[in-house]
Structure 1
Amino acid sequence: MNPARHVDAQALEAVEIDTVLGDDAFLQTHPAVRHVAPGKDGGLVVWLDATAPGSLLSEGTPDRPPEVELHGPGAPAASLAAHPRAEHVQLFFDGLGDPVAAPRGWWHARVWLKAA
């Protein structure tokens, strides 16, 4: 008889992203991102480490356009905005959404990246 193996399953959180504008490497280099897959209607589904920190930077908006803009249906994941290259992040949630396209609301993120 073999003893059962203990498996440490990682807690992951799935986030739908309809649009990525700007630096698409933001998701690929994000330390909390575990997997990115094609989603419905040409979007993406991103699996994030649910235990990753979710601190948002809010010192002051830089005097330039954001390098990355993301949005999708449902609630935002704070860890999505916590990237080591982020200089400043604005995370918005529109709870009204759309009764058909986004009955749980929409989230929007604007990210300014540090100079390389």
Structure 2
Amino acid sequence: MNHAHPVTAKPLTAVEIDGILGKPDYLDTLPAVRHVGACREGGLVVWLESGLDDEPTLDEVRPDRAPEVELHGQGAPCSALVDHPRAQHVEMFFDGLGDPECAPRGWWHARIWLRAA
């Protein structure tokens, strides 16, 4: 016997973050984030919902202050980690060469400036 499922599960993407500096609640306020959990060696695993279309309008000029949030991790960067509704300016860097032992898939680093609440 087959039953129709009333809710279709949405696909989630897991991203490991090795470090975060700045606003501690930043990840919890991202629209795509469904869960944040502890990972190895003090890092975090962030479960992101894919397919969100609302992208913030960013300023092209970097503000003359320190970024409110900095994130970094291994592998390719994930744009959902910087798509914050209050994002004013974002800089994301990717080093595809990485390190053969510590980061064989490369490193990414993001700096996020937020608008005032």
TM-score, reference length from structure 2 = 0.90
Amino acid at match of 1:34: R
Q: Distance in 1 between matches of 2:46 and 2:108?
A: 14
Q: Distance in 2 between matches of 1:108 and 1:54?
A: 22
Amino acid at match of 1:94: D
Amino acid at match of 1:90: E
- Paired residue secondary structure (1:109): strand
Following superposition, the deviation at residue 54 of structure 1 comes to 7.8
Following superposition, the deviation at residue 92 of structure 1 comes to 1.0
Percent of paired sites with the same residue? 61
1:70 aligns with 2:67: no
Could you give the per-residue CA deviations for residues 55-86 of structure 1, whole angstroms, max 9, x where no partner exists?
47351100001010000001111111110011
- Paired residue secondary structure (2:26): helix
Following superposition, the deviation at residue 5 of structure 1 comes to 2.8
- Paired residue secondary structure (1:82): coil
Q: Distance in 2 between matches of 1:18 and 1:75?
A: 13
RMSD of the alignment, in Å? Answer: 1.6
- Name 2:4's counterpart in structure 1: 5
Q: Distance in 1 between matches of 2:18 and 2:35?
A: 16
Q: Distance in 2 between matches of 1:51 and 1:4?
A: 27
Question: 1:54, 1:79 within 8 Å by CA — same for their partners in 2?
Answer: no
TM-score, reference length from structure 1 = 0.91
* Displaced runs of 4 or more, over 6 A: none
Structure 1 gaps, min length 5: none
- Give the number of aligned pairs: 115
